[in-house]
Structure 1
Amino acid sequence: MTLKAMPDFDYIIVGAGASGLMLADALGSDPHFGDKQILLLDKDRKQSNDRTWCFWEQGAGTFDNIVHRTWDTIYFAGKEYRARIPIEPYRYKMIRGIDFYEHYFGKLKGFSNLTFINAKVQSIEDQGHEVVVSTNKRTYTGSQVFSSIFDGTALTSQQRYPVLQQHFIGWFVKTRTNTFDPGTATFMDFSIPQKGNTRFMYVLPFSEKQALVEYTLFSEELLPEEEYENAIRNYLKQDLNCEEYEIEVKEKGRIPMTSYNFKQHNSANLLHIGIAGGWAKASTGYTFRSSALKVKKLVEHLKAERPLKSFDRRSRFWFYDLLLLDILKRDNSQGRRIFESIFKKRSPQLLFKFLDEETNFWEELLTMSGSPTRLFLDALRRRLF
């Protein structure tokens, strides 16, 4: 009888994005996993400022030492309702990608049981007794693998769940004249032409002359790149009365918005994390804080030695998100009406608590009753019958 070789690593983490790095740090810094060998794989060395992450949070938080800017007031604009709204005790926080990467890779160097390898993953196969991860350099085996590789074809090839995208292009601009209010983040400005979609401007001001100005959509299809950029150009000129500016950096991205069952792609020893695991909030596309909370739960799950396939059960919030996506899939122009109604009738503090999935049932009814209820009742009826 031949004995099977032990896997190379106890845990392999595929992808050094937000969820992968947070998980690597959580495992590496916890004495419970001190005797575990951990491998982190990514095709990129993460040495550029390739993205920004934003989230709302009450008081001081885990990431405050790398937060780039914060705001305690937000601006919302719809068709008829416009307001600058204090959000205390919450603050809206922004982290630059490069600051996040430098911080976490710096911490990972101090973990003797963690190895980072710059390699492109080509395939992952759970063989029962181990998971085989093939890269462009060599093949590694792990007892359990956490993968952030996202395959969008699984979403587009099914009809059961609506699939929208949060897609955007943003310009980091520097203006000649004072243009921005550095104390107020423009959370959603729906005053721009909707063109049958849910479209809004998003502005993060760093000073009176510097800001990130972003054109964002919640819709099914992407636009030609020039349409996003023309919208930003028009907004600067017509809404902010600014014609002289320098574009310092551009960023773009897209995040799936769906209640699709990502868990079906997990196996006994393979768990998908981040966007690939459905960790993005389906109704908003916000992923960063959700990933941080999921990582904490996952670490406790591993400590308890519970099966990977039982991690992260659905809650009632999953169904709330599904109803909103059903509405926007059926009529994408309804986004402005829904968000304007909620911001007009309810406080952002209640909305943030609801989106963080920390409300009780009565608070959820109160939040949802601030929206056009007929839309949600019709969506509920279609789902049930």
Structure 2
Amino acid sequence: MTDDRILTTHIGSLPRTPELLELLKRRQDGGDVDESEWHEAVVDATETVIERQTDIGIDIINNGEQPRVSFNWYVANRLSGIGGTREAPLWDDLADYPEYAEDAFHAEGIDLTKQPSVTGPVEYIGEDAAREEIETFFELLEATGVDPEDTFITAASPGIAATTVVNDYYDSHEEYLSVVGEALKTEYELIAETGATLQLDAPDLLTTGHRGFGDRPIEKLKPVVRTHVEALNEATEDIPDEQIRVHTCWGSYEGPHHRDKPLEAVLPEIYELNIGGLSIEEANPRHQHEYRVFREHPLPEEWTLIPGVVDVKTNVVEHPEVVADRIERVADAVGDPSRVVAAPDCGFDTQAGLAMVHPEIAWAKLETLVDGAEVATERLF
């Protein structure tokens, strides 16, 4: 981090090329894909996102999750024991508006109406794919001569992996969660070995409250969040806290979100994470007011806050002054602008084929993120 300006990053997924989207869809549907064609498409797309991040001026960059079908569903290709499917229930807010949900959620690469299920022992079988993804990114960084402030690589947290690939084999959710965490530990450590920051995507820490939770009292939510926090800590126990950042959110989808639980309800449980940085939505219109929570519940020592200051669910490009206002009020609540890194709320292409923001507008939003951070820097330092 720096003590003289607001750094910028993003949350992982960036727009994919049409050629890569077509190959992802074909692979996901079980079709034949020429491996050389696949590799070339991934390399080209990854090089493009590296160069565009650099040209825009993003400080902390990644590979845009180019070879993954989504930020979470990719784990189904890296874990053993998956042998069935289940109907995916509607989230609580969408269940209140089923006609909207039916119209809005159609992805080219993923059937979001079904979930893969585990019907046998879970082990990690994704080492080759993980290594190829990691090596491609760093080889292209060297080949292009790009020298960013820092790099990060994303991975699904144990909690989101265990709620994406549902359990039809283990005796309890707790046992299943632990097994998934132990399996994914291999991936986390492969990423950490590169020296990059490991970003664990853990929307489950907040979405559990409106994902089939119904009208149960909030006190019933806290133990679930605590269990997922413990599983994440166990899976990363051999990685330095300062090398880990966690992203959580209320779900990156354009829905009503009126059943989202308030941040304050579970933030003390989230603060039990053994990490160095926390990414959380602050541009989402349902949650823009919650920057105040960080004044009432101070950020743990040594943590960096990565507030979302650009909305990823609308094609409106924010004015840099709006972005700067969002950064400034969060920095004021935290009490130290050097502990704030600006980012969008979530990824721009979290589920391949279901991007809510047009690709070129997504890049324009990242430009305004950088511009807004520069304005905020002038005000805060």
**Normalised TM-score (structure 1):** 0.28
Relative to its length, the structure with more strand (as a share) is 1
* Larger RCO (CA under 8 A, 6+ residues apart): 2
Which protein is richer in helix relative to its size? Answer: 2
TM-score (norm 2): 0.28
